[in-house]
Amino acid sequence: MKPIAVILSGCGVFDGSEIHESVLTLLSLSRAGVAYQCFAPDRDQRHVVNHLTGEVAEGEQRNILVESARIARGEIQPLSALVVDDFAAVILPGGFGAAKNLCDFAVAGAGCEVEEDVMASCRAFTAAGKPSGFLCIAPIMLPKLYGEGVKGTIGTDAGTAEAFTQMGGAHQDCLVTDIVVDEVHQVVSSPAYMLAGNIAEAAEGIDKLVQQVVAMCQR
């Protein structure tokens, strides 16, 4: 089986990739015996948040790829280098970086737009008949990526689910330990830290998502 691509959005829940979700994804893939390669956009993130205080660090700027390299232990490539033919699937962990750096949902809500490089990469996997996985807030991009009627979940948050529906998606409420599968688009989603009260709860849903994505690759 070919490796699975993992698209990161920085390092840290408030301005980048959620670290637990990202590491649990990589761990689950490794335990499944599946190789992976991390990617991230090579551009500045929307802003920098002090994770101790929760406040925006005014005047500070960081690069998404450089920050994501912290999670990937330096083994990461720019998103522009992702060649879909070389990979079996793609998985996008959550964290506010998904809603700030991969798209602008955090500021634009239902009127958001997905960044062009993210759009091109995700759509290319679907066009090639390859599965995708989205965690936490990352599934909010699904209606923009795949169009009217795509199934997905962000858990049970009413406001975010309403935005998902306004964008044309078919939102499915989902427990933190479960997944939602859209067989038409070959997309799997799970709430992770949209609902998780601890790392163990997040791990259960993430592991199910990885197992489902891997199973879809092997069909």
Under 8 Å between Cβ of 34 and 133: no
Q: What is d(CA 111, CA 60) in angstroms, rounded to the nearest whole number?
A: 27
Two tokens at 191? Answer: 């709430």
Of 1, 70, 8, nearest to 38 (Cα)? 8
> Exposed/middle/buried for 42, CB within 10 Å: 0-12, 13-18, 19+?
middle
**Active-site residues: which are they?**
136
Q: What is d(CA 81, CA 96) in angstroms, rounded to the nearest whole number?
A: 23
Under 8 Å between Cβ of 102 and 64: no
